A and B are shown apart, each in its own frame.
Chain A
């Protein structure tokens, strides 16, 4: 009984080992893993493309609006500062004009 049991165990073990070996062989023979949804960052080499994908392209409208807005804001800030300084100096001049002569 024990001999038969040992033979059965040996056959089962052999079957498991053979199955595992066949599975590993089939795995190694498979082509490379299919590409993921987002490709990993290129570390081994760079592949040039002529055009950026649409998601990477920068829209021009915010840049144009930003440029014109900056010009307006810069000029208006300068004018406001100039106006304030002119007003302050004029106020001091008026105050000194009204001082009584000593």
Chain B
């Protein structure tokens, strides 16, 4: 179903990302942060979809570990890659915003540190899978589950500990003019995530088909 919706997702994503800059440009400035706050419209949706990616990876990793389904393994790998991609976006755009708003590029507070750990866990998941040798898919699945378990801590960290980062209450309290572009960007990033997920799963399926074909040829040659 996801594969069949690729053309629709492609069109939706391109149109939404083309329209988003105009909506962000027309959104009102925040009173204390001014222009720098506009980074929020891509930074926060990327972070939220990164959490979604971590959950998709963790759940499909658990299905792969306990049921042994190859399809779940492909979804886990694809979503782990996308979690790292979105995490990279969050980790780069956040300090650019922080430098203007806080006066520093980085602060070792609970939110930033736990988000960095989340990114490192999914990077480790990909590295284990790439260089771990035989059985690394199961090891990477375990790392993916641990990564998913880290997500709630990252989310609530701003409410539990004192940090410089805005709290989770910022999103529900967004005023008119800011709310619409924010939710528009959320939908755009979800669409981008689904599109890239479908393409990455397609790549894994093709690679599996290629491996199966090589094995078939080897069997024929040895027969």
Contacts and interface: CB of A to CB of B under 8 A. Distances in A.
Contact of A101 (B99, B196, B214, B220): B220
A67 B203 contact: no
Given A63-B99, A68-B21, A89 B203 contact: yes
A82 B204 CA distance: 11
Interface of B: 21, 34-36, 38-39, 42-43, 46, 85, 88-89, 92-93, 96-97, 99-100, 192, 196, 199-200, 202-203, 206-207, 209-210, 213-214, 217, 220-221
Question: Which applies to chain A's interface (DSSP): helix, strand, loop or mixed?
Answer: helix
B105 to A, nearest CB: 10
B203 A63 contact: no
B46 A64 contact: no
A70 B85 contact: no
Interface string A62-102: 01101110110011001100100110011011001101011
A58 B99 contact: yes
Contact of A60 (B43, B100, B192): B100
A63 B100 contact: yes
Nearest to A66: B96
Given A74-B89, A86-B202, A90-B206, 14 more contacts: A58-B99, A63-B39, A63-B97, A64-B38, A67-B43, A67-B97, A71-B89, A74-B88, A79-B199, A82-B196, A92-B210, A93-B206, A93-B210, A97-B213
A64 B39 contact: yes
A61 interface: yes
Contacts of B206: 86, 89-90, 93
B2 to A, nearest CB: 15
Contacts of A66: 96
Contacts of B99: 58, 63
B207 A64 contact: no
Contacts of A97: 213
A-B pairs with the 6 shortest C-beta distances?
A60-B35, A60-B36, A67-B93, A89-B206, A67-B96, A63-B96
